[in-house]
């Protein structure tokens, strides 16, 4: 399932790296090819909750096999598309499967592990996304440049087929609603809604800055165009480290871990704005922001499994919607800032939005639906952030 995450994330963003090749093949503009990514994200935002509601009673193994089958066919169709609109249609079908995949994969994977190690398991699961950014998209871009952009999509379809067979053979056939992680271990509607709001604001802040990181590095920090790839590689390595560090902390200190990550994001983006003219400071800032963004992905999956007020699959769909809304909104805010205040302001606005997220997460315990409940006795479990092992 980690490989499935890797494959989906690579597929979502691969047209960015293959943009010139696709545009030349279909004799279309770069902005039209960019819509293959933007439209993909919008589909995920719009359909995640409705699709999850419609399929919530389907057994997890069967549903994952259906989704991966759709992925394999749609990605293969992308590879053989003979015009732009067929490619767009195939991409939208792939996005439909990904929207539901994000909601299902977290409880399905978590149900394979004991509750006390699920945070670590989720860090391994979501490391697939970090590896996709670090290696999958660059490798797919290189393969497309050496052969054809269509070969890159064929390769992803083949990876999807491998995952499909593995899931069909090895994943337990647990009925929907009967899995070990199908409901929150400490249901709390107030804290869950706070997590959703925090996610939306923090991810919007992160992507307001990150979407336009290349022009920032060249125009503000003075890096050569040839340096941007290695700098993004360093950011990706920091992100992978963030996922695994969070995996060791989140099971015992979920709220504190999330609070610390968002606080670090405020500092990273604020530092990027204030010291953007310094190349050394910029490298530190973008590496720290990569660490925090990837870490947030891992901590979200774990905390949803704790506080989901109903079924985990619906709660996961809610945070997935908030996450992808943040990606889309961040890109939009950045595009508005570029022609006015300029690319440097994207880091400042990202820091301010992250500061709002920091305020929300600090207040999360106040929003708890359980805060007026009687104190825990010696025989009752303590909240996640003060639990002693």
- Band the pLDDT of 181: cuts 50, 70, 90: low
Question: Would 142 be classed as within a structural domain?
Answer: yes
Q: Any idea what the CATH number is for the domain that residue 91 is in?
A: 1.20.1250.20
Residues 248, 136, single domain; the answer is no
Contacts of 380 (CB under 8 A, 6+ apart): none
Which secondary-structure segment (H or E) carries 360? helix 344-362
Mean per-residue pLDDT, 113-134: 83
* Rounded distance between C-alpha atoms, residue 72 and residue 79, angstroms: 11
Residues 256 and 354 in one domain: yes
pLDDT confidence band for 261 (50 / 70 / 90): very high
> Does 80 map to a domain?
yes
> Same structural domain for residues 308 and 362?
yes
Nearest to 33 by CA among 78, 94, 100: 78
Q: Is the dihedral of CA 18, 37, 67, 308 positive or negative?
A: positive
Q: Is the distance from CB of 291 to CB of 238 less than 8 angstroms?
A: yes
pLDDT at 266: 97
**Does the residue 223 lie in any domain?**
yes
133 shares a domain with 88: yes
Categorize the per-residue pLDDT at 358 as very low, low, confident or very high, splitting at 50, 70 and 90: very high
Number of compact structural domains in the chain: 2
Residues 162 and 220 in one domain: no
Q: Is residue 379 part of a domain?
A: no
The answer on 290 and 230 residing in a single domain is: yes
- Of the candidates 9, 214, 281, 269, the one whose C-alpha atom is nearest the C-alpha of residue 132 is 9
Amino acid 379: pLDDT: 40
Residue 11 CA to residue 14 CA, distance in Å, equals: 5
Domain co-membership, 58 together with 118:
yes
The confidence score (pLDDT) of residue 140 equals 85
Range of the structural domain that residue 346 is part of? 189-367
Same domain, 79 and 115: yes
* The two structure tokens encoding residue 298: 């891992």
Confidence of residue 164 (pLDDT cuts 50, 70, 90): very high
The confidence score (pLDDT) of residue 109 equals 86
In terms of domains, do 263 and 134 share one?
no
pLDDT per residue over 194-246, tens digit each?
999 999 999 999 988 887 887 888 889 998 877 877 888 888 889 889 888 88
């Amino acid at each position: 399932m980690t490989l499935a995450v890797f494959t989906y994330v690579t597929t979502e963003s691969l047209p960015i790296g293959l943009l010139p090749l696709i545009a030349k093949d279909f004799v279309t503009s770069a902005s039209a090819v960019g819509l293959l990514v933007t439209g993909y994200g919008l589909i995920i935002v719009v359909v995640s909750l409705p699709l999850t509601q419609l399929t919530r009673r389907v057994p997890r193994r069967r549903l994952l096999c259906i989704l991966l089958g759709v992925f394999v066919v749609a990605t293969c169709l992308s590879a053989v598309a003979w015009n732009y609109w067929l490619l767009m249609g195939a991409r939208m079908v792939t996005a439909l499967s990904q929207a539901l995949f994000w909601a299902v994969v977290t409880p399905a994977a978590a149900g394979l592990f004991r509750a006390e190690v699920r945070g670590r398991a989720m860090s391994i699961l979501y490391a697939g996304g970090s590896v996709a950014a670090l290696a999958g998209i660059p490798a797919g871009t290189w393969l497309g440049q050496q052969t054809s952009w269509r070969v890159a999509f064929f390769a992803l379809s083949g990876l999807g087929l491998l995952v499909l067979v593995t899931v069909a053979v090895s994943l337990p056939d647990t009925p929907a609603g009967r899995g070990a992680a199908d409901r929150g271990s400490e249901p709390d509607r107030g804290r869950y809604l706070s997590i959703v709001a925090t996610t939306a604001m923090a991810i919007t802040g992160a992507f307001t800055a990150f979407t336009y990181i290349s022009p920032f590095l060249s125009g503000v920090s003075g890096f050569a165009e040839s340096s941007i790839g290695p700098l993004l590689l360093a950011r990706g390595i920091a992100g992978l480290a963030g996922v695994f560090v969070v995996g060791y902390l989140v099971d015992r200190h979920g709220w504190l871990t999330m609070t610390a990550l968002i606080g670090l994001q405020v500092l990273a983006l604020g530092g990027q704005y204030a010291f953007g003219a310094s190349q050394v400071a910029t490298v530190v800032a973008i590496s720290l922001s990569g660490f925090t963004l990837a870490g947030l992905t891992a901590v979200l999956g774990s905390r949803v499994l704790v506080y989901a007020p109903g079924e985990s699959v619906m709660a996961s769909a809610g945070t997935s919607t908030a996450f992808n809304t943040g990606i889309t909104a961040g890109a939009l805010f950045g595009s508005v800032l570029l022609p006015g205040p300029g690319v440097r302001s994207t880091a400042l606005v990202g820091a301010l939005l992250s500061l709002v997220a920091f305020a929300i997460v600090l207040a999360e315990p106040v929003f708890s639906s359980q805060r007026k409940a009687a104190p825990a006795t010696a025989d009752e479990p303590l909240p996640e952030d003060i639990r002693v092992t």
